[in-house]
Amino acid sequence: MAEANVVKQQPKQETGLAARSYERVPMLGGSLLGSSLFDINPFALMRRFTEEMDQVIGPASKQASQLSGWRPAIEVKEEKGKLRVKADLPGVEMKDVKVTVADGVLTVEGERKQEIEEKREGYFHSERSYGRFTRSIQLPEGAKTDQASAQFNNGVLEITLPVPESQQKRHEIPVQEGAKSRTAAG
In tens, the pLDDT along 106-156 reads 999 998 887 888 888 888 888 887 888 999 999 988 889 999 999 999 999
Contacts for 22 with CB less than 8 Å, ≥ 6 apart: 14, 31, 32, 33
Question: Do residues 143 and 104 make contact, with C-beta atoms less than 8 angstroms apart?
Answer: yes
- What would the pLDDT profile of 7-47 be if each residue is shown by its tens digit? 555 555 545 444 444 344 444 444 444 456 666 677 777 78
15: burial class by Cβ within 10 Å (0-12, 13-18, 19+)? exposed
CATH ID of 74-162, from 3.30.230.10, 3.40.190.10, 3.30.70.100, 2.60.40.790: 2.60.40.790
In 3-state terms, what secondary structure has residue 145? helix
- What would the pLDDT profile of 63-108 be if each residue is shown by its tens digit? 554 444 678 899 999 888 899 999 999 888 999 999 999 998 999 9
Q: Where are the domains of the chain?
A: 21-57, 74-162
